Structure 1
Amino acid sequence: MKALNLITLALLIVGGVNWGLVAMGGHEMDLVANIFGGDESAGARVIYALVGLSALWQILPWSKALRMGEDHAEAGHTHSHVAR
């Protein structure tokens, strides 16, 4: 599951940078669309879908971090007290 979390996090970073570029320069700066031949191309739509699915997947560790506290969630602890 750690590998999947890293992959989805990387996709979210790609998506975030892409949207930042779109915000600064309009749709001409949409790198995903430019790489794959337009925002309606199959390749771009796959990337957009993967970024969206990655966001949904990342809700799981985010909600765990909210419940347990970030330090415990990152360490993978399932109980509330950890010997330090």
Structure 2
Amino acid sequence: MTIYPSDGGTLTGTPDKDYNILWFTKACLSNVLRLDQYIADAVDANDLELVAFFQRAQHDSRKGAEEAKQLLAARISSAA
């Protein structure tokens, strides 16, 4: 595994670990929305295998977003 050096938040003003969890949450929620369209396209094509695949992917993205939100909430409350 390649390890990339951290800028320590110098560029963004936010420590990377904080930015990373925020980015991950946003990416998961964005995937949930995008997958709605993919599911609709698969339904229109009557491709039930693809519908099920995209629904599983959407479920996993929702789960990732929820876990990340819980982690953020815990970190915010402990920092206060």
TM-score w.r.t. length of structure 2: 0.48
Highest relative contact order (Cα 8 Å, sep 6+), 1 or 2?
A: 2
Compute the TM-score of the two structures, normalised by the length of structure 1: 0.47
